[in-house]
């Protein structure tokens, strides 16, 4: 089980990867935030209710994806590209690390961010 101190370290390290990372958070299996950090100057795109719903959805999606691990292998990450933001989620035991990235970032930078996040997540697995 991931403790709060480790969760805080994860979000701190991920936020330091790139100035394009808007938000990093660790979400538990019930969709509750364990730790998070938001880059100063970036307003949330979702209100409190929608943020809570997004994290609950993420927890469910992570649990459902893990049902196929035996047949397909563990999920390394899930990348979602939306009109206003890009998000990446990483499974971390029963938790999920969720990262949002500025939409205007070129894909090679997003891939660099993903490649930099993977060892951090694996270290705490």
Sequence-distant (≥ 6) Cβ neighbours of residue 33 within 8 angstroms: 25, 26, 27, 55
What pLDDT is stored for residue 105 in this prediction? 93
Residue numbers in the chain where pLDDT is lower than 70 = 1
Q: What is the pLDDT of residues 70-93, one digit of tens each?
A: 899 888 899 999 999 999 999 888
Would you say 65 and 78 are in contact if contact means Cβ atoms under 8 Å apart? yes
Distance CA 63, CA 90 (A): 12
Q: Which residue has the tokens 């701190």?
A: 12
pLDDT of residue 98: 95
At residue 9, the pLDDT reads 97
What's the pLDDT score for residue 55?
A: 83
pLDDT at 42: 84
pLDDT the model gives residue 86: 95
**Domains in the chain, please, with CATH?**
4-123 (3.30.450.30)
- The Cα–Cα gap between 123 and 111 comes to 19
CB 30 within 8 A of CB 48: no
């Amino acid at each position: 089980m991931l403790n709060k101190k480790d969760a805080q370290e994860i979000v701190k390290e991920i936020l330091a990867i790139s100035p394009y990372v808007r938000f990093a958070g660790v979400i538990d299996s019930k969709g509750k935030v364990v730790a998070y950090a938001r880059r100063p100057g970036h307003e949330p795109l979702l209100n409190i209710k929608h943020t809570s719903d997004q994290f609950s959805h993420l927890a469910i999606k992570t649990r459902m994806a893990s049902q196929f691990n035996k047949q397909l292998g563990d999920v390394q990450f899930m990348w979602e590209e939306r009109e206003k933001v890009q998000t990446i989620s990483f499974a971390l035991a029963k938790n999920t690390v969720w990262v949002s990235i500025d939409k205007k970032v070129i894909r090679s930078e997003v891939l660099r961010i993903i490649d930099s996040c993977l060892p951090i997540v694996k270290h705490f697995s």
